[in-house]
Amino acid sequence: MNSFFLSMLMGVPPAGAADAPSGPAAMLQMFFPFILIIGIFYFLIIRPQNKKQKETQRMLAALKRGDKIITIGGIHGTIASVKENTVIIKVDDTTKMEFSRSAISSVEAVGKEIEEKKSDVQTEKTDEKTENAKD
């Protein structure tokens, strides 16, 4: 009995296991499933999570006045001012709330871009009206 445990500790194969691979090949064969599982976890779980976290950090760093946002609690509003760690959100004509930057889940639309698009549409409509009036 003691010789069995001693042979296991020393890495000597048991008497009936002469056909089993030994040395580095056996170690690689034994650890390959674990290496495969770690690789799968990295590509399916860890890597996408890191990408999403970096994207969220970029979004929070790019917040500016006039952006329409949604908080984690589901409050929709427009950014009235931006501080270092907090953002003041205009929810209503008279209501302003201060939130931590990390409480913002997404930017719905950039305020200035929306205003520019509206003004572009209005100028296109007036250009069309003037062209039709000339004809």
Which residues, 6+ apart, have CB-to-CB distance to 23 below 8 Å? none
Q: Contacts by 35-44 with C-beta closer than 8 Å and gap 24+? A: none
User: Structural domain boundaries of the chain?
Assistant: 32-61, 64-112
CATH number listed for the domain at residues 64-112: 2.30.30
pLDDT, tens digit, 9 for 90 and up, residues 32-49:
889 999 999 999 999 999
pLDDT at position 19 is: 56
Which residue stretches of the chain have pLDDT < 50?
A: none
- How is residue 18 annotated by DSSP? S
pLDDT at position 133 is: 59
Round to whole Å and give the CA distance between 105 and 117.
Answer: 24
Please give the model's pTM, rounded to 2 decimal places. 0.57
